[in-house]
Structure 1
């Protein structure tokens, strides 16, 4: 039996505080996720230490940063992926049901190299998966975005 990392245990209690802080300091929040596909047709996913499941790499857009800069930074930090061409916007989603005022932009990373990641302690695992064989615990938003990109499912506005 595997134990949850300590961050996954405390996250349900700290997330509301993070949301409250974000709401006080920002009127609206904006996040990014990146879709990178390797030469074998596999998609890059990450498993965080503080939330359960596999996710597309990404995170919040910092003040003074463009969405493109944010996704390039997040891919580098979380997975050591260095975009060698500008990211391409795929879709924009409202995360209103889970975090009012939040939006998520999804980008394709069409060309990249791999190096050591710069984030330490945030990412528990990195993996490459074919879109038709995702891990069972892939997050619902990851499954939805990949079904839109690879499965011919019509895109939705909701995250």
Structure 2
């Protein structure tokens, strides 16, 4: 799997362009995983700037809950121990006109080894009131909605 670290930065943009040309809509998942001290998991990818909630695309044949469980384990080292809670559906038209993101809360989880070789630069935990510089706008909006009671908007 070491080849992925070398190939993936080049292959990913090509694959995304192909998906956008051949699919009318795409579906992604993101998740809020919270520790007992209130800190939430954020990841920095190798292929996009900023801190983001862990997540990714729902693959063919997957359910959205399965995809969020897979992405949490791969990216953040979080293994779900119960069904995730759906918090909202968001249009992500800035990324692609047919893109939508489902936001879940990881209600129960345990630590596991991350399985993302070459995709994740860093995973760390932050208090919602103290997000790091460079946190992506969509992530900031979701955190403000969930933890600060800011009115929900339907766009990522």
Q: Do the aligned partners of 1:19 and 1:99 also contact (CA within 8 Å) in 2?
A: no
Show the counterpart of 1:117: 114
How far apart, CA to CA, are the structure 2 residues paired with 1:84 and 1:58? 17
Work out whether 1:81 is the aligned partner of 2:81.
no
2:30 to 22, 28, 33: 33
Work out whether 1:103 is the aligned partner of 2:100.
yes
1:133 to 113, 130, 134: 130
How far apart, CA to CA, are the structure 1 residues paired with 2:54 and 2:142? 12
Structure 1 stretches of 5 or more lacking a match? 1-5
Show the counterpart of 1:3: none
Structure 2 stretches of 5 or more lacking a match? 1-5
How far apart, CA to CA, are the structure 2 residues paired with 1:64 and 1:24? 20
TM-score by length of 2: 0.90
Show the counterpart of 1:71: 68
**Aligned length in residues:** 150
Alignment RMSD (CA, Å): 1.9
TM-score by length of 1: 0.88
